[in-house]
Amino acid sequence: MEIFLDTANIAEITEAGSWGVLSGVTTNPTLIAAEGKEFFPTIKEICAAVKGPVSAEVIATEAAGMVKEAVELAALATNVVVKIPLITEGLKAIHQLAGRGVATNATLIFSTNQALLAARAGASYVSPFVGRLDDVGHDGVELVAEIAEVFEQHSLRTRIIAGSVRHPLHVVQAARAGAHIATIPFAVLKKMVSHPLTDLGVARFIEDWKKAGLGPVLGG
């Protein structure tokens, strides 16, 4: 399963990229606004910082406007993927954009029916929102598993991005459920690295090294 970063923060993207684990980025107007930056220049900056797909979201709620915005976004860089909300107008836009060769990410997916329709319309990706479903008493990971089963059974090539990931366990569960990608906040990515037994092991190794007088510990 690939790891995407859900952010608009260039420093986070650069740092995660240096770990060798980052395959792409998802972002949206809310995340960009939180950084206090302009929308289109930020998308271009993110695309330059990442080799993989960068999902950027449209604002319009009717198909013609979505398509217009999508074409503008796709022109920013070759790795732009346009996020389209899964509503009726969104399906129309996804279908039209697929015909133009524009990659799309059907977002705000909360049911297998929505994911199936998006795939049939030509979406490159679908993004079921795991955490938001959990918030309202549903099993978000179970939805990912159900979508993965349906897509495999019917040989649908649309890729599944587990979104709205809240903690490291969501990442493991999404991987086991068959998600192709998990898009996660940087804070969650950092937690995935950490384990108290690893920290204890490193601390003990350094302590033993110093006691043995084997020389200085670089960085310590």
Give the C-alpha separation, 77 to 67, whole Å.
Answer: 16
How would you classify the pairing of strands 159-162 and 80-85? unpaired
Of 117, 123, 125, the closest CA to residue 162 belongs to 125
Handedness of CA 191, 146, 92, 129 (dihedral sign): negative
- Alpha helices of 19-122 — where are they, by DSSP H? 29-34, 39-49, 63-74, 88-99, 112-121
Query: Token pair of 205, please?
Result: 């190794």
107: left (phi over 0), alpha (psi -120 to 50) or beta: beta
d(CA 131, CA 212): 49
Query: Which of 51, 68, 83, 191 is the catalytic position?
Result: 83
Whether 83 is catalytic is yes
Q: Which two tokens stand for residue 152?
A: 């495999």
Q: What is the DSSP letter of 26?
A: E
Is 130 within 8 Å of 142 (Cβ atoms)?
Answer: no
Q: Are strands 104-109 and 2-6 parallel, antiparallel or unpaired?
A: unpaired
**What are the catalytic residues?**
83
